[in-house]
Structure 1
Amino acid sequence: MKKVIYNQFGDESILELVEQTVPEINKDQLLIRVKAVSINPLDWKVYGGEMKLMSGSKFPKSVGIDFSGIVEQAGSAATRFKTGDAVIGLLDVFKGGALADYIVVKETDIAAKPTNISFEQAAALPVTGLSALQIVDQLAAISPGQDVLINGATGGVGVFAVQIAKKRGATVTAVVSTKGVAEAAKWGADTVIDYTKQPISSLPNQYDAVIDLSTKLSFADAKRLLKPKAFFVSTLPSPLTLVYSFVNNLFSGKKMKILILKPTVEGFRKLVELAENGLQIVLDKTYSISNVRQGYQESRRGKSIGKSVIVLN
C-alpha cells in the first residue's frame, strides 16, 4: 500500500510517498480503506517541527489527521461497525498517519459517514467540524442573543463556526478577505467585514466572544474588542500561551481559551447530525496522493476558502 511519511522536519519537500505492507489489526481494531484525507494547518506545523513537544522527534513520522473511508476488516471485539460501512474519523492530532491506503483505528476514532455527502466532503468534517463545535459550545460557551466576532471566518474551522454559532442563536460578525465576503453571508453571518478595507483594530464594537481562527490576532489586541466578561478563543496552542491563559484567567474577567481538540463520541454524533441536516461543507481543491506536496504547498499559502482534501484510489 502507499503511505506518506517523512524522516526529518522541514517543508513539503520532506514528504515521501512509499510502499508499505497493509497493517494487521487486533481484536478491538478496524482496518479502514481510506478514500480521502483533509489538509489541516496543524499538519505543516507538525512536520515543520513547530510541535516537537507534543509530536516527539522520533522518525519516520506520518501525515494526515482526519479521513473518510470504508471498513475493510473489523476485529472480533469491534461491534459498532462492520465490513463495508462508510465512516469518517480522525487519528491522534500530533501523530497523524491517515495519508495511507489503509489505516488501523479503534471504534472511538470513527463515526458513520453522513449519507448525504461525498467521501471528499466527509473527510473535511472531523478536525474542523469538531473544533468548531468545541469552540462554540464549550470554550466560548455561546448562547442565544450573544454577539460573536469570528476572525478568519472562511477557513476550515470558520465555515462551520459561523454556521454553528448562528444555530446557537448568536449574532455573528465574520472577518474575511475580499473574496470571502459573499461566502460568509451565505453561511449566515449577520455582518461581514473585509479586513482589507476595515482593519480589525478599528472595529468600534465589543463582543461576548472573539474567536481568532487566523492565528494573527493576539489576546492583547483582542482585549479592547471584549466585553467585561467575555471569551477570547485562540487555535494556536503552545506551552507559553497555555501558561499565559491560565494566569490571566485567575485575575481577569476577560478570559483567554486555547483550543486543544478533544474528540468524543458525542461530538461525532452532533457533527454527523449537523451534516445530515444541511451543514454547508466547502471544498476548495482536491489532490491525488501523488500530488501531496503540491496540496500542502498551496494550502499553506492560506488563500483558500473552506478545506482542501487529498483523494486516494
Structure 2
Amino acid sequence: MQALVFKRYGKSPDIGFADVPQPVLQADQLLVQVHAAGVNPIDNMIPSGMFKPVLPIALPAIMGSDLAGVVTAVGSRVTRFKPGDAVFASVFDLGSGAIAEFAVVPEHAAALKPANLDFVQAASIPMVALTSWQALKERANLQPGQKVFIPAGSGGIGTFAIQLAACLGAKVGTTTSSGNVALVHSLGADEVVDYKKDEFEEVLSGYDVVLGTVRGDAIEKSLTILKPGGKVVSLVGPLDAAFARARGLNPLLALIFRLMSWKIMRLARQRGATYSFLFVRSDGALLGEIAKLISAGRIRPVIDKVFPFEQAKDALAYLAQGRAKGKVVIKMR
C-alpha cells in the first residue's frame, strides 16, 4: 500500500511516498481503510527529532495521527466494531501512522464516526478534540462561569477548544487577527484581542485557566492575566518532571525536563498559579463522548483546506506556515 513516510530525524527527514506492507492485524485492532487524514503541528515536529527522546518510533515511519475511514477487518478480541463500520480515531503515540491507504487502530482508540460528518470533517476532529477535553475538562477542571484564555483562536486547536469551553459554560478569551474576529466570535469567544493591534496581557485580566498553544514568551505573559489559584495547561512546553514520571522516562530526562520548566514553574508560584504540560492520549471512549456534542450540533468542525492524497507533503508544508484557519485535511478517496 502507499503511505507517506519519513526515513530519518533532523533537518532532512526524507519525507515521501513509499510502498509499505499492509499492516498485520493484532487481536485487539481494527484494520481501517483510510478515507481522510487530519494533520496537526506535531506531525511536522516529530521528523525534526524534537520528541525523539519521548516518542520511540521505528524508522521509516508512516506519518500522521488523525484518521477517518471504514473498518475492513477486526481482530479476534474486538467486540465493539465490525467490518463496514465508519470510524474515526487518533493513533498518536500508538506506533502507527494515519497518512496511508490502510491503518491499524487499537479498539480502545476508535469511535464511530458521527453520522452528520463526512470523512474529511471527521478526520479533522480527533487530536484537537481529545487535547481540548483532556486539557480543559480533565486537567484544568474548567467550571461553568470560569474564564479561560485560548490564544490563537482561529487555528486548529483554537477553533475546537473555544467551542468546547463554551459548551462547558466558560467565558472564553482569545487572540486572532482582524480578519478572523467574526469567526472566533461565532465559535463562542467572548473577549477577542487583535494581536496585531494590542498585547493580550494589557487587555485581559481575571482569568482562571490558560491553554498554552503558542510558543515563545506567550505562556509567561499569560501568567499576568490569571487570578490567584489559576492554572496554565501547556500543549507546547516546556516539558516538566511530572510528564517524565508519567511516561516512565529515565531520571536524567526527568532532571532535564525539571530544569527546562524551572523558570515557568517559579513564575507561576509567584502568581499563586500552577503550570503543567499535557501530552494528549488516544481514547476512543472519550472520542465517543465528544461525538455526541458534534451530533447534537454543539460543536462543528472548522476546515481551512483539503489536499488530495498525492499532495500530502504540500498539506504538511501549508500547515507549517501557521496561517491555517481551522484544520488541514488530506483526502484519500
TM-score range, shorter chain: over 0.9
Q: Which residue of structure 1 lines up, in the alignment, with residue 89 of structure 2? A: 89
Moved more, 262-271 or 176-185: 262-271
Give CA-to-partner distance per residue, 1:83-104, whole Å, 9 cap, x none.
1000001113374511110111
Q: Which residue of structure 2 lines up, in the alignment, with residue 43 of structure 1? A: 43
Per the TM alignment, residue 262 of structure 1 is displaced from its structure 2 partner at its CA by 2.1
Q: How does 1:164-183 map to 2 (within 5 A)?
A: 164-183=164-183
1:287 aligns with 2:307: yes
Q: 1:293 and 1:169 mapped to 2: Cα distance?
A: 39
Instruction: Give the match's secondary structure for 2:8.
Output: coil
The answer (yes or no) to whether the contact 1:7–1:61 under 8 Å persists in 2 is yes
Letter in 2 for 1:38: G
1:266 aligns with 2:285: yes
Moved more, 259-268 or 5-14: 5-14
Q: Which residue of structure 2 lines up, in the alignment, with residue 223 of structure 1? A: 223
Per the TM alignment, residue 24 of structure 1 is displaced from its structure 2 partner at its CA by 2.6
The answer (yes or no) to whether the contact 1:156–1:306 under 8 Å persists in 2 is yes
Moved more, 48-57 or 297-306: 48-57
Q: 1:58 and 1:67 mapped to 2: Cα distance?
A: 20
Residues 120 and 190 of structure 1: CA distance in aligned 2, closer, same or farther (over 3 Å): same
Q: How does 1:148-187 map to 2 (within 5 A)?
A: 148-187=148-187
Q: How does 1:66-215 map to 2 (within 5 A)?
A: 66-93=66-93, 95-215=95-215
Q: 1:58 and 1:2 mapped to 2: Cα distance?
A: 18
Give CA-to-partner distance per residue, 1:185-235, whole Å, 9 cap, x none.
111111211111112232252311122222344443222111111011211
Q: Which residue of structure 2 lines up, in the alignment, with residue 20 of structure 1? A: 20
Query: Alignment RMSD, CA only?
Result: 2.2
Instruction: Give the match's secondary structure for 2:166.
Output: helix
1:275 aligns with 2:294: yes
Letter in 2 for 1:296: L
Give CA-to-partner distance per residue, 1:87-142, whole Å, 9 cap, x none.
00111337451111011122112100000001001001110011111121022221
Per the TM alignment, residue 7 of structure 1 is displaced from its structure 2 partner at its CA by 1.1
Per the TM alignment, residue 238 of structure 1 is displaced from its structure 2 partner at its CA by 4.7
Scaled by the length of structure 1, what TM-score is found? 0.93
| 2:272 paired residue among 218, 228, 253 | 253
Letter in 2 for 1:254: A
Q: Which residue of structure 1 lines up, in the alignment, with residue 326 of structure 2? A: 306
Give CA-to-partner distance per residue, 1:158-193, whole Å, 9 cap, x none.
111111111111111121122221100111111211
Moved more, 98-107 or 57-66: 57-66
Q: 2:182 and 2:132 mapped to 1: Cα distance?
A: 21
Residues 58 and 197 of structure 1: CA distance in aligned 2, closer, same or farther (over 3 Å): same
Gaps of 5+ in 2: 242-256
Gaps of 5+ in 1: none
Q: Percent identity?
A: 29
> Paired residues, what number?
313
Residues 303 and 258 of structure 1: CA distance in aligned 2, closer, same or farther (over 3 Å): same
Moved more, 90-99 or 300-309: 90-99
Q: 2:94 and 2:24 mapped to 1: Cα distance?
A: 22
Q: 1:151 and 1:219 mapped to 2: Cα distance?
A: 10
Scaled by the length of structure 2, what TM-score is found? 0.87
Q: 1:191 and 1:228 mapped to 2: Cα distance?
A: 20
